[in-house]
Each structure stands twice: as C-alpha cells, then as structure tokens.
Amino acid sequence: MPTIKVTVPAGAWSTDEKTKIAESLTGGLAAVALDAGKGDIRQYINVQIMETATGGYAIGGNVVG
C-alpha cells in the first residue's frame, strides 16, 4: 500500500484543510500510477498527516511551530 507522510507544525492546518491536502496528494499519486500503467490505485493510497509538538519542527536550522 503506498503511503504518503506529511509532517506539519501543530495547529497549522484545520481539519477541512487537511482533508483537502489528503485528497490532493491522493489524486496526484493516483494520476502518476494511472499514467504509468499501474491502474487505479486510489483506494490503496494511505495519507498520514502528522503534527509536531510545539518547537518540534525546524526549517533551515530554525525551530518553528
């Protein structure tokens, strides 16, 4: 089962926004698989959106969130 993992700072995205993220990522991977002749794998794609604790996320060496 293909798995897409996304890590975001805690509270950065609402539930509705996370739903849209999961739908978009699922659609993108499903489209690539379809173009590659692997068939429709949409039902097998797992998207995990994980939130970090406050101060548990860094970009370029700078802690954010």
Q: What CATH number corresponds to the domain at position 12?
A: 3.30.429
Whether the Cβ atoms of residue 47 and residue 26 lie closer than 8 Å to each other? yes
pTM: 0.84
Q: Per-10-residue mean pLDDT for the chain, 65 residues long?
A: 92 96 98 97 97 88 84
Q: Is residue 22 part of a domain?
A: yes
Q: Residue 22: which domain range?
A: 3-58
Residues 6/50, Cβ–Cβ less than 8 Å: yes
User: From CA 31, how far away is CA 51, in angstroms rounded?
Assistant: 27
Count how many domains the chain has.
1
Does residue 25 form part of some domain?
yes
